[in-house]
Amino acid sequence: MRELRQHGLAHLVLIVGIALLLFPLYMAFVGSTHDAATIGRGRLPLTPGSHMAENYIQAWNYGTGERVAGTPVRIMMANSLAMALAIAVGKIVVSVLAAYAVVFFRFPGRMFFFWLIFLTLMLPLEVRIIPSYKVASDLRLLNTFAGLTLPLLVSATGTLLFRQVFLTVPRELLDAAKIDGAGPLRVLFSVILPLSRPSIAALFVILFVYGWNQYLWPLLITTDPRMNTIVIGIVKMLGTSEAMMDWNLVMATTVMALAVPVVVVLLLQRWLVKGLVEAEK
């Protein structure tokens, strides 16, 4: 009986928690299915309306309504997708290579490089905004895809994670491969990478979400609306966020912007959890 009551309490707490998490998302969806006038009057119903298709089509194709100027969602989606993929793939490649060198080779300066990589942990973009912007501007990287992604390709987290993974590879396996005549690159591709596949998958989820969600750097680097990522695009649409604007379009854009990383996280949930919990070890 006590057991039952406690389970009842647990269900209640979880349902209330989940409801609080879901409520803003649900209302954004509701907002995306009504017309701008209904929302502008401040009388948004709690149930979806009948304008869903037209709102999404307009946001997808034009992004601009009567009282809001935006970039078509299809362009911003493509930008965000390209950025997220470039960051996720690029970061994994860069981290794997560096970790491989640091773990399996002995060379002068190895510890120096290791500490240099470690140092990046302590220098998040937000604390070096202005000089980083200046470097990108001096290198003529403003409003370019390279400028958007290149500085985000490096992080200590990825390299440290792969270092941990590589350290657990049994020495005998490597020696056997060497006896079979495999060189360092062959060992990397035929032994190390296949063994690291779970960590690569896990890191991919984390980095894809990280890339998709970038905010400050794209805000600085891209001023051309056609370069807008979707997160930046939505905040720009909001502007001063007045009552009379096409909230229906803003919310349709928001729902589409959320859908991609949320679906990735839900589908690859197992890898995400594994990756997060392992990356911090």
Task: Tell me which residues in 105-144 interact with other proteins (CB under 8 A).
Answer: 105-107, 110, 113, 116-117, 119-124, 126-136, 139
Candidates 55-63, 65-73, 145-153, 196-204; binding stretch for other proteins (CB under 8 A): 145-153
Closest to other proteins by CB, 128 or 140: 128
Question: Tokens representing 219?
Answer: 């805000």
Neighbours of 144 (CB within 10 A): 16
Where b means 16+ CB within 10 Å and e means fewer, 15-42 reads eeeeeeeeeeeeebbbbbbbebebbbee
Task: Specify whether the CB–CB gap between 226 and 75 falls below 8 A.
Answer: yes
For 241-264, the DSSP string reads --SSS-HHHHHHHHHHHHHHHHHH
Determine which residue in the list 86, 165, 203, 234 makes contact with other proteins, applying CB under 8 A. Answer: 234
User: In the window 193-222, what residues touch other proteins (CB under 8 A)?
Assistant: 209, 212-216, 219-220
Interface pattern 158-187 for other proteins (x via CB under 8 A): -x-------x---x--x---x-----xx-x
Closest to other proteins by CB, 58 or 100: 100
CB of residue 198 vs other proteins: minimum separation in angstroms? 16
User: In the window 28-87, what residues touch other proteins (CB under 8 A)?
Assistant: 28, 31, 39-42, 44, 46
User: In the window 81-100, what residues touch other proteins (CB under 8 A)?
Assistant: 93-95, 97-98, 100
Write the CA distances from 40 to 50, 60, 203, integer angstroms. Answer: 16, 21, 42
